[in-house]
Structure formats: structure tokens, C-alpha cells
Structure 1
């Protein structure tokens, strides 16, 4: 078998043939909606000093990460929908792998930091401000971004050094396993690295579940704590479940999936974590958290009040 180290482009598959302008319009609307809701939440938190608290800072970080992740997918998808050929350069593919993987892993690590914050807030309320200091927040934010960054490099680096004997990726976007499967040589080292990375994020999920076990036990006898749990922890838990299911499906299908699996369902599950969290997180937190909801709706109330005052004057 001849080894090919001179791969310059990959071909992608998965796009459904049909009315491409309709698909483009839907995808563009979804992308713009994600940008709008995430930027609105980020700017609201940054501009209002009363929201400069750990919970809101972590939420801001979560939304920034969401914007980073979708930027690695949607512009390329929009281009491919209108294009007759669905190709991506070798370096573009590795870059997309890094950006999407980084965004996915950063969401997990940020959710872990948020779980720690909520555990301290509900289980140790009197010590909260002495524990969640500015220094602690900076450490948690740094961890939630730096650890996924290193994991992304560790995932993409070895894959980028493999000699390849193929150029077709059976997916809407590039992912690490799809590139590794094209290798001409055994990929044991890559598989071990991937397995270790998956275990590390399973450990994140285990920590979050353990923290929620403590939270539920602490909330049993306090109405205020129950309210805090329902307001801030339930959206967090739903996001975790969504991400965990997406990780499980993508991992299992990439390694053991059958080609008989319906393409439309396979595409949805493959990009589900790039659709639901970026739109779900800012909306559910924005409406659930009273502080943010009031800040966002205040301009609307002012405008409504001015209109009512004008009508009264006219009458």
C-alpha cells in the first residue's frame, strides 16, 4: 500500500440535495439568531456592574465559548450549502477539528466550574464570598479555557502527523476520528489519547453529578435553596445532559456506527451540540435568571411606558 502524505483537500458528505436556498436561509437565520442572543447576554453582563458576580461571569464565559464553537462550523456549512463541491483544505480541516472540539470541551469544563460555584453558594452560603474570590474566579475561568485548549492540541496534533490514504470524510464537518480513520498506519496512539480525553470529560460529568447530589440533599429543607436550585441549576443540568448524550452518540457512531443509519438523523445528532446549546443556553438562562431578565427587558418596558404616556397625552 502506498502512503500519501500530500493530502491537500478533503471532501465532505452529508448535505441533503434539494432546495439549497431554503436550507441556506434556515441555516443563516439560525446562525444569526445564535449570534444575537449570545451577544445580547454577553453585553448585558459586561455593561451592568450589578451582574459582575461569579454565576453571571461563568455564564458569560459559556456564551463566549458557544460563539467560538459555532464560528468553526456555520460559515463553512453556509458556504457548502451553496457550493456544488463540498471540500475543505487540509489545514482548514484540522483547524475546524480544533475549534469544534475546543468549543465542545470548553463547555464541559465551564459547566464543571459552574457546578462548583452553585455547590458553594447553596451548601456554604455564609462562606461563599470568602471562597469565590476574584482570584478563585480567574483560576476557574483559566482552567475552563486552558484545559480544553491543551486537550484540543493534544487531539489534533497527533492526527495531523499521520500519513493518509484517503481524502473523503463521511460527515458535514471535520472531526478527529474521521481524519484518523483515513490513516495508512496503525492509530493505536491516537486511540489511546482519544480514550484518555473522553475519560477526563467523563470525570467532569461525574464531578457535576456528585455536586448535584450534594445540592439536592442541601435543598430539601429550605424553600430559598429550592428556588436557587430551580432557577440556576436545572438549566445547567439540562445542558449537561444534552452535551453528554451528544458526546456518547458521536463517540459510539464514529467507531461502531452503521452506514444504514438514516442520514438525516445521523446529521442531526452529529451537529446537535452545535445547534441546541448555543441557542438554548442564553435563552433559558436569560429568562430563568431574574437579574438578567430584568436588564434585558428594561428597555422594552421603558419604550412601552413612553408609548402609553404619549397616548394619554393625545387623549
Structure 2
């Protein structure tokens, strides 16, 4: 049984607590949070106990930690946990600073302990099926990739101010998805951003609407589109290959389609990422546990997290400069 310490007790920590306790090979040994009442509530819900982060990391009986704290703590906690001999699953991004993330990667490697970054969308059953079909050669060689990720509503402005911006906070999932599907990082990143949803987001120094074009050394192209306001929700991937196309459309709230003389209608897409990607979060945790048990490499590595953050940094620079940015330059 893998004993797990959960660092953080916010919204996403609850999702992870469900995954941890649903896997018969893992148990939730302890929960920590800087708000004790929040930690106590989550611990009680899942039959665990509250301890400090320091105590969890120092406890040799705890095998792994799941880091679901604020982004500015991720690198420090990864380093402390791996130095203490624990396996780590950490929510994205590794850090807001690319330089700090690279230092974390180097420091964590010293311990030899496995670190997995929480890019859960790789584990979405439908996106994973697209990747398998591409790798099996079902549509030939990948040529163009299009990723659409629209959130139903923007987060609070207080969160925007500390998020690192739309490219580091939101689109970073799509950068990793592009790397996952294309099997490589691009050479150039070209980004544009606007503030069309809420002027306060622009006042906070961020965009709420953004698009990025990625170009690869062999000429392949990927495009990513994000908005923080699409009341219907939208999560789609389309891959054009040399011999055909692979598409993953939206998941709808139900499969009912009504067809009448007035037209054809169906349910709207599953709106929020917590509902849309719940199966992916469970599959992500199961993959983490399996990798620990097998003693193999994590399916999403710290290097993958650094690579996606480098693309976010390049996109941020490109949007400010109005010019393409070479990934090698960041």
C-alpha cells in the first residue's frame, strides 16, 4: 500500500483525494494546508488526518506526496519531498519562473526519486485514443494539429493576478498536449493575446483571449486557441495527417439528439474542467501508482513540465513583442 501525503486542501485537492482513495493500492495518510480548517474538512471527508507539510515530508512511513498547493510553492516542495526520498506528483506548472523550474529539475534529479507533473489531459480516454491511433499510423504522418480549449467563465481577478498569465496557467495544458501528440517540441512560437472578456483582466496584466501558432523543425504546424469565457464550454482536438484526420469533439451532458422538422439539437458540452476531466484525473493517479509499483519512468516527467513552461514563456514574450520567438532563445 502506497501511503500518500496530500499537500493542499483546495478545490483541486479534493479531486486528487478522490483519486487517491479510489485506488486500492494507495491510501491518503495525511493532509496539510495553510488554512487548518480547510485541511480538517478534507481530511475528515476522506478518513485521513491533518499534519503540517513539514511533518508529512519528514515522515519516512509516507511514500509519496501529491502537491496541490499554490504554484509559487511547487519547486520548493518538489525539492524537499524528493530529498526526503518520496515520489512526487505535482500539479502544473512546475513554477512561474522558467529559470527556477530548470533549477528544480536539476536538484530533484540528484535524489533519483520519480517526479510526475499533473498534465491530466494526456490521460483523457479520448485524447489518449487519438494519440494511439496516430502512433499506430492510422492517418499517416502528422501534419497539422488544432487544439481548442475554452473555459466557461474566467477565474476571480485575485487569482488572475498570481496565476502567471493565461499562457502559464491555462494554455500550458495545451502546450503539453501539443508535445504529447506531436512527439516533439516546436522550434518557433508565435502568440497573440487580447482582453475582450473583462477589462479588469487586462488591468491585471493578462489576456483573456489568446491564440498561438507552433512551428516544428520538419514543417508541421499546430494552433492553439484559448478564451476564458465560452458559456457553452469547448474542448476539442483535431489532427490532420498525410492519410486522414483524427478528431475528438466535445463531451456533452447526455447523448440525446432531438431531430424534428424545426431542426436538430443536442445537449451542451460538459462545461467545467472538473467535470470534463474527472476520468482523466483518476487515470492520471492510477498511472502514477503503476509507475511507482513497476519502478519505471513516470509517464509525464519533470522535463515535460519544464518543456511546457518554456513554451509558455516563449508565448508570453511573443505576445508582448508581436513577433515569433524561437524556443531555443528561452
TM-score range (shorter-chain normalised) is under 0.3
Which is bigger in relative contact order (C-alpha 8 A, separation at least 6)?
Answer: 1
Query: What TM-score do the two structures reach when normalised by structure 2?
Result: 0.23
Q: Quick check: which one's strand share is greater?
A: 2
Q: Quick check: which one's helix share is greater?
A: 1
Larger Rg: 1
